């Protein structure tokens, strides 16, 4: 009772065959008491989705471009 997996190239160091006991479905909500946030739907302007930004919390330079953490 084993499964053979097709893994991405970056995971070649893992063994491709796993016992059934090791492969169990993930729980729907692994952290009890946590509720998922519902994000507001985007506003479509000129055919592009846009969201209202309340505040820019942080920014960083990553792979030759800026990334922003927004609220």
**pLDDT digit string (tens) for 15-45?**
888 888 877 787 777 777 777 777 778 888 8
Whether residue 2 lies inside any domain: the answer is no
Whether residue 53 lies inside any domain: the answer is yes
Residue 22 main-chain phi, psi, to 5 deg: -75, -20
Whether residue 48 lies inside any domain: the answer is yes
Whether residue 14 lies inside any domain: the answer is no
Query: Residue 58 — pLDDT band, cuts 50, 70, 90?
Result: very high
Residue 60, domain extent: 42-71
Q: Residue 21 is encoded by which pair of tokens? A: 């006991």
Residue 67: what pLDDT? 92
Q: Residue 35 is encoded by which pair of tokens? A: 């509720």
How many domains does the chain contain in total? Answer: 1
Residue 37 main-chain phi, psi, to 5 deg: -80, 135
Residue 19: what pLDDT? 84
Q: Is pLDDT above 90 for 7? A: no
* Residue 66 C-alpha from the chain's centroid: 19
Whether residue 68 lies inside any domain: the answer is yes
């Amino acid at each position: 009772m084993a499964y053979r997996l097709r893994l991405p190239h970056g995971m070649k160091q893992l063994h491709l065959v796993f016992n059934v006991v090791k492969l169990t479905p993930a729980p729907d909500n692994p952290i009890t008491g946590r509720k998922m946030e519902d994000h507001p739907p985007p506003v479509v302007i000129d055919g592009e989705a846009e969201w209202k930004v309340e505040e820019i919390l942080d920014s960083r330079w990553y792979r030759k471009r800026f990334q922003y953490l927004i609220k």
